[in-house]
Structure 1
Amino acid sequence: MIKIKPFLIAGLLLTGFTLSATAQIGEARSNFSVGVNGGVNLNSVSFTPTIKQNSLMGITGGLTARYISEKYFAMICGAQVELNFSQRGWDQLFEIPGENGDMVEDPTQIYTRKMSYIDIPFLAHLAFGNERGLQFFIHAGPQIGFLIGESEKIEGVNMNKLNDTQKAVYGTKIQNKFDYGITGGGGVELRTKKAGSFIVEGRYYFALSDFYKTTKKDYFARAAHGTISIKLTYLFDLKK
């Protein structure tokens, strides 16, 4: 039952946003835009049992398509889909006793796992502001991803001092290459008459799937991505 609750929450959120974005009860619009996006990911992984980590930075970028269907009072409603390349993974935090007896980071030991995905988010788009000018918006919806590559970097690690949790990931290939979850965020958009739209956005992705097997006989009970993305997008209108 524990794993059912995130699906129910995601389903309710998606249903609510979709109804808001598609119900034709406001002023109809038919604005279709396409463009490109790019930015950075700040990645971590939720492990159970836990593994201490630093944020791992990666890149993200790809193609964006958006359709604005209506304006309902002050709210501009639509839907957006993207096809992105996205770098995820984790950077393990090693600690040693410091001068005062406190645990401090040991920079001589390095373990990072980088994972490359093709991501496809399906987003409800709700914006507030001028149709030509400055807008504030929120995005929310499901996201799927497909693992296309992975790599490990190990330097200076004393394998004899690793605990069982750390040993469980070293050299272990990703077992589930299909990834899915929910994503959402918000930002600011400047819509111009002739030059297109310029967008700054922050977004968070919460994976509902695990990339390692998590049955009772497996070591991990959870191994899932959590990613903060900061990105820029440029769109131009194909249909106004």
Structure 2
Amino acid sequence: MHLKRFIKTICCLSLLFFFSTASKAQVGEQRHLFSIGVNGGMSLNSVDFSPKIKLSQLMGYTGGFTVRYISEKYFAMICGAQIEVNYALRGWEEEIEEQPVDNHLAYTRNMSYIEIPFLAHLAFGKERRGAQFFINLGPQIGFLLSEKEKIEGDWSNPPIPVVEQHGKKIDKKFEYGITGGLGVELKTNAGNFLLEGRYYFGLSDFYNNTKKDLFSRSAHSVISVRVSYLWDLIK
């Protein structure tokens, strides 16, 4: 509970920083650099279930549009705000360690989301041409578009203790959490090229979590690597 409260506090502070920098900064050297572009990458997806379900990482992908505004430079730190609208394939894949003889079992749930992260963007390095190292941090919301199960084998006598999630539809289509990433940006005459590693920690559950429900927690966990291309519109 303390960890979850701490993460929610960080999430709120990041959102406050996002809107303050997106409006007008009052400290440091003023900048008005507006950029737009596209992003895409691959992800490793899992779900934090309680009661625990043994899972392996499910490969997914993400891609979408990026808008960034750099508002000021405070000493060596370049400060700004970034918002994205992305399509992402998430879900989970169950790990079956004791496979029955002549009955291969497998279960995968694919979940398609629209994600909208609101990010504080902090960078260090060259402003015009050259390399920058950056940090992105902030809250993220998501909307479930679709879900699909893939079941292999005869599950009439399952070798795992929890199978109630099989065939169970997602209860909550809206979700939220906090995301953060580290990366490098190469600024050139042809535009800005970015490489970033990012982690998303879900704070909300997609299954109901009352006392009468089976799962007290069912939240996404996503590790992704993505590339972006941004073009400066206003300098």
Q: 1:218 and 1:107 mapped to 2: Cα distance?
A: 30
Alignment of 1:76-87 (within 5 A): 76-87=78-89
* Structure 2 residue 176 is the aligned partner of structure 1 residue 180: yes
Partner of 1:45: 47
Q: Match for 2:232 among 208, 224, 237?
A: 237
Partner of 1:101: none
Q: 1:159 and 1:85 mapped to 2: Cα distance?
A: 35
Q: Which amino acid aligns with 2:74?
A: Y
Partner of 1:103: none
**Kept after mapping to 2: 8 A contact 1:110/1:157:** no
* Structure 2 residue 114 is the aligned partner of structure 1 residue 118: yes
- With normalisation by structure 1, the TM-score equals 0.89
Q: Which amino acid aligns with 1:48?
A: S
Q: 1:27 and 1:143 mapped to 2: Cα distance?
A: 29
Q: What runs of 5+ residues in structure 1 fail to find an aligned partner? A: 98-105
CA displacement at 1:11 relative to structure 2: 2.0
Partner of 1:213: 208
SS in 2 for 1:161: coil
Q: Match for 1:191 among 187, 193, 199?
A: 187
Q: 1:163 and 1:198 mapped to 2: Cα distance?
A: 45
CA displacement at 1:15 relative to structure 2: 4.0
Partner of 1:10: 11
Alignment of 1:42-191 (within 5 A): 42-96=44-98, 108-131=104-127, 132-165=129-162, 167-191=163-187
Q: 1:75 and 1:148 mapped to 2: Cα distance?
A: 38
Q: Which amino acid aligns with 1:115?
A: M
**Kept after mapping to 2: 8 A contact 1:174/1:212:** yes
Deviation string 1:15-63 (CA, Å, 9 cap, x unpaired) is 4676678642111010000000000110000000000011001110000
Q: What runs of 5+ residues in structure 2 fail to find an aligned partner? A: none
Q: 1:66 and 1:16 mapped to 2: Cα distance?
A: 14
**Kept after mapping to 2: 8 A contact 1:44/1:91:** yes
Q: 1:236 and 1:183 mapped to 2: Cα distance?
A: 24
Q: Which amino acid aligns with 1:43?
A: N
Q: Match for 1:222 among 217, 220, 227?
A: 217
Q: 1:238 and 1:12 mapped to 2: Cα distance?
A: 28
Q: 1:156 and 1:228 mapped to 2: Cα distance?
A: 29
More moved, 153-162 vs 4-13: 4-13
Q: Which amino acid aligns with 2:136?
A: H
Q: 2:207 and 2:220 mapped to 1: Cα distance?
A: 11
Q: Which amino acid aligns with 2:139?
A: P
SS in 1 for 2:132: strand
Question: Alpha carbon RMSD of aligned pairs, Å?
Answer: 2.1
Distance 1:25 1:91, change over 3 A: same
Q: 1:54 and 1:238 mapped to 2: Cα distance?
A: 42
- With normalisation by structure 2, the TM-score equals 0.91
Q: Which amino acid aligns with 1:33?
A: S
